[in-house]
A = this chain, B = another copy of it.
Amino acid sequence: MNAPTSSLPDGTSRSPGRGRPRDATRDTALRTAAMEVLADVGYRALTMDAVAARARAGKATIYRRWESKLDLVIDTCNELVQRNIPEPDLGSVPADLGEFLRAFAAFLTGPAGKAAQALVGELPHERELADAFRESFLLPQRNVLRRIVERGVERGEISPQAPMDTVVELAGAALLHRLMLTGEPLDDRFVDRLLQDALLPLLRRDG
C-alpha cells in the first residue's frame, strides 16, 4: 500500500480516529483516497482498510461516514461529477458544446477517469454499482448535453427535428471510447474535430 502523497486540502494535519464530528474537508480527503485506491487496484480489490491507510485515517472514521465500499465508491463518484462537470450557458450551441466537452475531456484525463475505468469491468457483475454508476456518472453528463441542445432549439438555432438523442449519445461515447479503449488523446484538438466533423453538422440537419 502506498503512503498518501498529498496533505489534506486545507493544509492541516490530523491524527486519525478520534471520533471528532464529521467535517467536509475530511470527507473530501477520504473520497480522494477512495478514488486513488480505486484507480490503482480496481473495485474488486478495494478495501476500506486500504482507503483508510491512504488517507491516514482510522477504519472506524470511514465506517462512521459510509456503511460499505459500495456506498463509499458511489458517494465519491457523485461528488466528483458534481464538482467537475460544468454547465456552460454562453448563448450558442457550438460555444456551449465546445466548453462542456473540453471540460469533460479534461476531467476524464485526470484521476477520475482512471477510477471510472476501474469500475467498468465490474459493472456486469455488480448490479447496484452499475445502476449507481449510470445514474451518477453517465446521466448527469448526458443531461447537460441535452440541455445545451434544447436551449439551441428554443433559440431557433437548432431544428427540433435534429437527431438530438443520437448526437447526445455520440458525444459521450466518443470521449469515453478514447479514454477507456483506444487510448488515443482526449485533447482539445480531438474535441474540435468531433464538433466540426460530426456533432455540429448533425445538429444542423433538418431531420
Chain A contacts to B: CB under 8 angstroms = 39, 42, 44-45, 114, 117-124, 130, 134, 138, 163, 166-167, 169-170, 172-174, 176-178, 180-183, 193-194, 197-198, 201-202, 205
**In the bound complex, what is the Cα–Cα distance between A39 and B193 (angstroms)?**
35
Q: DSSP majority for the A interface?
A: helix
Q: How far is the CB of A118 from chain B (nearest CB, A)?
A: 5
Q: How far is the CB of A66 from chain B (nearest CB, A)?
A: 22
Specify which of B121, B172, B205 is in contact with A121 (CB 8 Å cutoff). B121
**In the bound complex, what is the Cα–Cα distance between A205 and B198 (angstroms)?**
10
- Whether A121 lies near B124 (C-beta < 8 A) is no
Known A-B contacts: A118-B121, A166-B193. Give 7 more (CB < 8 A).
Answer: A119-B121, A120-B120, A134-B182, A176-B181, A180-B180, A198-B198, A202-B202
Which residues does chain B contribute within 8 Å of A120, judged by CB atoms? 117, 120-121, 180-181
Which residues does chain B contribute within 8 Å of A123, judged by CB atoms? 117, 180-181, 183
Which residues does chain B contribute within 8 Å of A169, judged by CB atoms? 174, 177, 182
